[in-house]
Structure 1
């Protein structure tokens, strides 16, 4: 396994704010410390293997400098993913490295669905803070056609963006997607839209000029391009010769690695014993859906139809594509899912041949800023209290304003207690008490409706709390100064100041 670069550094809490509704980037994680990043980039960058030189050349990546790499599925990501890209940019500039970003285009993701905070007008004109969605049918991927602008629609016609920055961000997202309706596929369309939005809305090198691309510091490429490399073909041939060795090594790595968060599933053989492999098969026709790959399918797959799944992709890229790979909280760290990849490649290829580039971790979260809603939310305790009051109001006439009913209930309770809850007299008293309570409720429907309304209101305000406290909105919805602050802090963490 690749040794850890260094002990993790503590997260940085950014920005002072009076309440949780105030706009700010509030948490930045960069692990390990900058010195370990520099050491990793200088360590392997000076002795590239022939395998790495060929692989990088086939992907269009430079081979004259060390490479720091990251990536994600195409989309307008939350600040944590954006922070990875900014981290790659900062590290590249700081240590004269090349930055690379892999667009995971072989996955099928619902990137068209863009969540945003919205204000909806409900019954009696009452405004509610809700989670709106701009969406379109289908997935984003290499084998999905680009989306026409007419297919994009708001999820709730009665909801409007909660702030000016959200409204502007949604318009920017839609415009960036529309301008790429002629892209070769949906993945390239969404990736291009993200690049444009990053260039003009995150305080980067292109922001001042309004150009429509991110800095040349980071080279973007599609993950499906890996399938056309000699290294990938060689690993497929190795699977063809001994699929069971690959699958067994993979499953052993899964079994022996503790992973937090999203778990890694084992490869499951078919009933006939054919080993499942960490690949997707996707037909050459546009619109083809991906399918799992088993050992007996390797010989029949057409050129370019076999694509790497997640761990296979990161393993190949860390094997020969970079000196340092930047993950988020899920993949990085001592219990990130890519620790499985390290063990798998070691078990499968051997400790030396399967040695992977080390991993760093970058992530961030940010409050969008909805202070006007801060006093219009409820906690779980508030909801529980409202539910308690509604429940007890059904059994306590006094809570419904019926003093006589409360006295009668007390009398019947004492009678039941005196009879020790046994016999027909006790049963009659018990029935009489509940009949009396039902009668009180029927006569006090207004009061009961008030308690019911308290529960509904508390639950609605609790839902608003989730929206106010959400810290992972698409980055284009945030104020530009927030993204600029994030970039500046990352530069500081890399020692650029």
Structure 2
């Protein structure tokens, strides 16, 4: 394989063994794009296609993948063998895996997410993973996406503890940290700096949500987290193992593996090299698809949903990240060709890091790349390439959340145009689950009513004569003026007493202003009621959010809700 220096155009692939069919362009219009949206009602789910179709979808995917050609057949066989072996070894370090028959695992159903304390709608996907794997007689594997950047080391939880200068018990958010780190580095680099914060996180959360939830699941979760942090010392690792350990305690039978482990295999290296050795052409497919996506959806930002890949002085930006233990901040990977060697670098002048790969023998080049990647030179895929590998190589059926389901339709376009194979369809799964015991008072209607009343104080003050003693002469005069408008046009035109339109308007405005002054105390009362109604509405909106971390919910409540959602589909 040789990197072409031709213009960045996604032209038909002619030389690579990864090609299986002529180039085809998928329709990526607004009509074909699926608009996945979170369910609105509490205790409802989004499962597309329905669970009852999962087995048929998986069988269809297996048949499609069989037609992709020998490159994909070989890659899938080796990658899946490594996946199961590594996932069993990794998972067995913290929970039982004796139920796995490594010699006969059947089809692979896969999901994935960052190792964070996400909301119950995301966690529902893990329960669906177990359910679908059992339905199809296969095995569920959850991919821990530990190359994404951690946003911080804390969570926001709902609280009614006294706060502010007045000691208000109005519902509000409290930030509860589990470490001192501020984020900004990949999850696999998030070493814990404060064991004291980490060790007492469950107690801090329980105290913060007291009065909202009596028995949050963080208590059971954190027993697993404390064991995990002693094993790995990394917050991302500990959070993922804690959640998965709790899932095992609840009876879910799935395996788990960090993406960082997947990236050490020669199969992954071979997949990456299939892109890097034709990187200029991949640029064309990637950038053209992203441009069409933005055009179809009226997106003006060049960074959404992903920025285009760049080229500079013979260097081509790759859909990969480079970082390591000695410099954990992610940097873009850049590639150029020198004779028969690929040079892979982060192009940071003060911190040069490069790999040189001989591409004359693809299999040996893949082994070389896998061996050269080290703890201080980690080569990790960006989001679209991550799911491309997970869906096309590692699994027979992939379960996305709402965000992944939206953006991976762009990944389908890139995959189809670069590799010339039909992407394997996926499922999209999410749920909306609110805190238990919430009351649903219609504060919104009350707020709208109070706002209308405050407006009427200025423009229709006479309406409040039953609540405040008003100047009846002014009220009577305004009634006369309003009646004039209601008279027939010819009568008004012939009347010598008829004021001009401007005079009429000025007199009505003057009367309104005079009457409105007499409503001062009522205005103060309504403003106070409006402020209280808006606070109550905001508090209800806060408490009813679907975004609260799953660890603040009672575990039995979540189990029961998940079971109902999976049985109804």
1:57-76 mapped onto 2 (5 Å cutoff): 57-59=81-83, 60-61=86-87, 64=104, 65-76=106-117
Alpha-carbon distance in structure 2 between the residues aligned to 1:329 and 1:469: 20
Say yes or no: does 1:350 pair with 2:386. Answer: no
Q: 2:157 matched to which residue of 1? A: 116
Residues matched between the structures, number: 450
1:27-42 mapped onto 2 (5 Å cutoff): 27=45, 29-32=47-50, 33-40=53-60
Alpha-carbon distance in structure 2 between the residues aligned to 1:2 and 1:42: 22
Contact 1:370/1:468 (8 A) holds in 2: no
Q: 2:196 matched to which residue of 1? A: 150
Say yes or no: does 1:197 pair with 2:259. Answer: no
Seen in structure 2, the aligned counterparts of structure 1 residues 46 and 278 have a Cα distance that, compared at 3 Å, is: closer
Alpha-carbon distance in structure 2 between the residues aligned to 1:157 and 1:163: 10
Gap regions ≥5 residues in structure 1: 15-19, 206-214
Contact 1:412/1:433 (8 A) holds in 2: no
Seen in structure 2, the aligned counterparts of structure 1 residues 289 and 482 have a Cα distance that, compared at 3 Å, is: same
Alpha-carbon distance in structure 2 between the residues aligned to 1:191 and 1:346: 33
Q: 2:404 matched to which residue of 1? A: 331
Q: Deviations over 1:131-160 (max 9, x none)?
A: 444235523711121253434679999964
Contact 1:30/1:360 (8 A) holds in 2: yes
Contact 1:117/1:161 (8 A) holds in 2: no
Alpha-carbon distance in structure 1 between the residues aligned to 2:193 and 2:229: 6
Contact 1:121/1:159 (8 A) holds in 2: no
Alpha-carbon distance in structure 1 between the residues aligned to 2:552 and 2:542: 14
Q: Deviations over 1:267-313 (max 9, x none)?
A: 14267685443222223326x22133344582444634321111100
Alpha-carbon distance in structure 2 between the residues aligned to 1:184 and 1:124: 41
1:219-258 mapped onto 2 (5 Å cutoff): 219-256=255-292
Seen in structure 2, the aligned counterparts of structure 1 residues 43 and 236 have a Cα distance that, compared at 3 Å, is: closer
Q: Offset of 1:365 from its aligned partner?
A: 2.1
TM-score (norm 1): 0.74
Alpha-carbon distance in structure 2 between the residues aligned to 1:125 and 1:452: 22
Say yes or no: does 1:289 pair with 2:289. Answer: no
1:37-436 mapped onto 2 (5 Å cutoff): 37-40=57-60, 43=63, 49-59=73-83, 60-61=86-87, 64=104, 65-110=106-151, 112-121=153-162, 127-135=169-177, 137-139=181-183, 141-146=187-192, 148-151=194-197, 160-165=209-214, 167-173=215-221, 176-182=224-230, 183-200=232-249, 204-205=250-251, 215=252, 217-256=253-292, 264-269=305-310, 275-285=316-326, 288-295=328-335, 298-299=344-345, 300-301=353-354, 303=373, 304-332=377-405, 336-351=406-421, 355-371=422-438, 373-375=439-441, 377-379=442-444, 381-394=445-458, 399=464, 401=468, 403-404=470-471, 407=474, 418=499, 420-421=501-502
Contact 1:132/1:156 (8 A) holds in 2: no
RMSD: 4.5
Alpha-carbon distance in structure 2 between the residues aligned to 1:237 and 1:364: 38
Alpha-carbon distance in structure 2 between the residues aligned to 1:39 and 1:146: 43
Higher gyration radius (CA): 2
Q: Deviations over 1:209-259 (max 9, x none)?
A: xxxxxx5x3221111233322233334434444432112111233344568
Q: Deviations over 1:169-201 (max 9, x none)?
A: 34445555444443342210211222233344x
Alpha-carbon distance in structure 2 between the residues aligned to 1:395 and 1:388: 10
Seen in structure 2, the aligned counterparts of structure 1 residues 390 and 53 have a Cα distance that, compared at 3 Å, is: same
Contact 2:158/2:173 (8 A) holds in 1: yes
Q: Offset of 1:440 from its aligned partner?
A: 4.7
Contact 2:158/2:208 (8 A) holds in 1: no
Alpha-carbon distance in structure 2 between the residues aligned to 1:138 and 1:314: 27
SS, match of residue 168 in structure 1: coil
Contact 2:156/2:174 (8 A) holds in 1: yes
Q: Deviations over 1:70-113 (max 9, x none)?
A: 11011233233222212221222233312211111111133744
Alpha-carbon distance in structure 2 between the residues aligned to 1:150 and 1:393: 57
Contact 1:105/1:142 (8 A) holds in 2: yes
Point out the more displaced range, 186-195 or 482-491.
482-491
Seen in structure 2, the aligned counterparts of structure 1 residues 487 and 369 have a Cα distance that, compared at 3 Å, is: closer
